[in-house]
Amino acid sequence: MEAVISVDNLAVILDGKAVLKKISFTVNTGEIAGIIGPNGAGKTTLFRALLGLVPLHAGTIKILGVPPHRIKEVRRRIGYMPQNQSFERRFPLSVADVVAMGLLSPESLLRPTGDCRERVAAALKSVGMEKYGVRPFQELSGGEQQRILLARSLVRNPTLLLLDEPTSGLDFPAQQQFYEMLLRLRRERDLTVLLISHDLLSVASVADTLICINRTMHVHGHPGEVMQSPGLKEAYRCQFDLLRQTGRAEESER
pLDDT tens readout for residues 205-250: 999 999 999 999 999 999 999 988 888 888 887 554 433 333 433 3
Fold observed for domain 3-86+159-253: Rossmann fold (3.40.50)
Containing H/E element for 146? helix 142-154
Given a contact cutoff of 8 angstroms between Cβ atoms, the answer to whether 114 and 127 are in contact is no
Mean pLDDT of the chain: 86
Supply the pTM of this predicted model: 0.86
Please answer whether residues 169 and 150 qualify as being in contact, where contact means their C-beta atoms are separated by less than 8 angstroms.
Answer: no
> Above 90 in pLDDT, residue 103?
no
Q: Domain-by-domain residue ranges, the chain?
A: 3-86+159-253
Give the C-alpha separation, 38 to 165, whole Å.
Answer: 13
The model's confidence at residue 92, banded by pLDDT at 50, 70 and 90, is: confident
Highest mean pLDDT among 40-44, 62-66, 90-94, 142-146 belongs to 62-66
Mean pLDDT, residues 109-125: 78
Whether pLDDT at 109 is above 80: no
